[in-house]
Amino acid sequence: MKKILVVDDESTARLLLKKILTAAGYNVSLASNGIEAVKKINNSKYDAVITDLNMPEMSGVELTKKILENEPDMIVILITAFGSIRSAIDSIRSGAFEYLTKPVDKEELLLTLNRGFEKVSLIKENILLSRELDKIKESPISETDSEKVKNIKEYASTIAQSNNAVLITGEAGTGKRELALHIHLNSPRKKYRFITIDCTTLPENSIESELFGHVKGSSKKATTAHKGYLEIAERGTIYINEISKFNNLLQLKLLRVLKEGVYTKAGDLKTQSTSARFIISTTIDLEQLVIERKFNEELYKKLKLYELYMPALRERPEDIIFYFNYFLNYYASIKNLKIKEILPDVTRLIINYVWPGNITELKNVAERAVILSDNSIITKSLFPANIQEVDQYRDLFSNNNYKVNKNKAIRDFEISFLKKYLKLCKGNISETARVINFHQISLRQKIAKLKINPKEFIQK
């Protein structure tokens, strides 16, 4: 509900305006003079101010100037007698949105307010668009060949209907942002903005201003006021990548938003409300940070209520070929090419490579292959040297049955991968599980299923 402050030294006029605005669904506060209005504005956030022009102590024009010094986008509507129109016009030139003459027409007042709110909404959209332009990338992948990821996305679609914050964990490059966008697009908020704040690319002292905004003079560098995403992205979704970068103050401010739906700008005292939803991601073990007293325990519990884990490519090898083909076709279409053939040794190569950079690395390699290809045939020579060095190839294709070959490829990958790390860890299953970020019990079950003998790798 939008908040409006009505300022008039005549109580009858104040009460009449309050009656009109309250009936229209607005939350209305009253002030009997400009000084009282300034105090209220300093302590609370208003969407619009409707003020009389001629008042003792501080005129409507003076009040307008004071308001716009700190709130340049505030909607200020002046109410004036017919003989004071020239003064009202002067105030419009100073930044007020509009003036109305007494007696105030109810329909004209409400239409003027609507026009003002539409203007502010457009300003916010333009600010948001300009900030988001450099973040535009190719369309996110909404498909997968992995049953594990399909189950995750199905659950994500279910929790998308709530307004609770969501925590997404997993290694870098696994598609956490794409999962966050999937939640947004399957939620009632899908017609509103999806905003990304990437804390891995922002200086720590910039994160607060980006998210919460700041007032002029809040720091030496704050020479102008700055709208944060919480103010701009009403009813939308804010995705924060790498929450572990938040310092203690930011963690507390975020916790307040999640609990109460309110926040304050940097350097400001008044609270503002928000209805934005948060989706948070991290590559760091937040539970361990809580133990080390580096992360707020209450915030962690709040985020953990809805937690999703995006598995690495090594945990879903069936997606390696799927995504590689996707990116090849994507970049080929940009280059106006059609991929004629992918040689078998390329398929063996990408299956056997571990992909520490996950989908991000796979995407970059596919783009490189398309750029370097001069005959639309993807060969091993188009890959970086570190990938070409992978020599544990296997003959994956015994026949032309897709399902049989896919299952064989997955099994061969798992055996090769687990044996490699069991050897590095000298047959120690606990250490192997820690190194490959795999649950120890699940690893023991997997080893037994694949008939791998860990004792072979124990050095005597």
Half-sphere exposure of 435 (CA within 13 A, CB side): 15
Q: Are strands 341-342 and 307-309 parallel, antiparallel or unpaired?
A: unpaired
Rounded-to-integer distance, Cα 419 and Cα 457, Å: 8
Rounded-to-integer distance, Cα 242 and Cα 250, Å: 13
**How close are the terminal C-alpha atoms of the chain, in Å?**
73
**What's the CATH class of domain 147-311?**
alpha beta
Q: For residue 364, which of 394, 403, 323 has the smallest C-alpha distance?
A: 323
Q: Which fold has domain 318-390?
A: Helicase, Ruva Protein; domain 3 (1.10.8)
In the chain, domain spans: 3-130, 147-311, 318-390, 394-460
Query: Is residue 77 within 8 Å of 51, Cβ to Cβ?
Result: yes
Q: Note the CATH number of domain 3-130.
A: 3.40.50.2300
**The domains spanning 3-130 and 318-390 adopt the same CATH topology:** no
Write out the chain's pLDDT in tens, 460 residues.
789 999 999 999 999 999 999 999 999 999 999 999 999 988 888 889 999 988 888 888 889 888 887 777 788 998 887 656 666 666 676 678 888 888 888 988 998 898 888 777 766 665 555 455 444 344 445 678 788 898 999 999 999 999 999 999 999 989 999 999 999 999 999 888 888 999 988 887 788 888 888 887 777 777 777 778 888 777 889 999 999 999 999 999 999 999 998 898 888 878 888 889 999 999 999 999 999 999 999 999 999 999 999 999 888 888 888 889 889 988 888 888 888 888 878 887 888 788 989 998 999 999 999 999 878 889 888 998 888 876 444 444 445 566 777 777 788 788 888 888 888 788 899 888 888 888 888 899 999 999 999 888 886 5
Q: Is the pTM of this model over 0.95?
A: no
> DSSP characters for 82-111?
GGGHHHHHHHHHTT--EEEESSPPHHHHHH
One-letter amino acid at 304 equals K
Q: How far is CA 53 from CA 64, 88, 135, in A?
A: 9, 7, 45
pLDDT tens figures, 308-359: 999 998 888 888 888 898 899 888 888 888 888 888 788 878 887 889 899 9
Question: Which residues is 50 bridged to in the sheet?
Answer: 6, 77
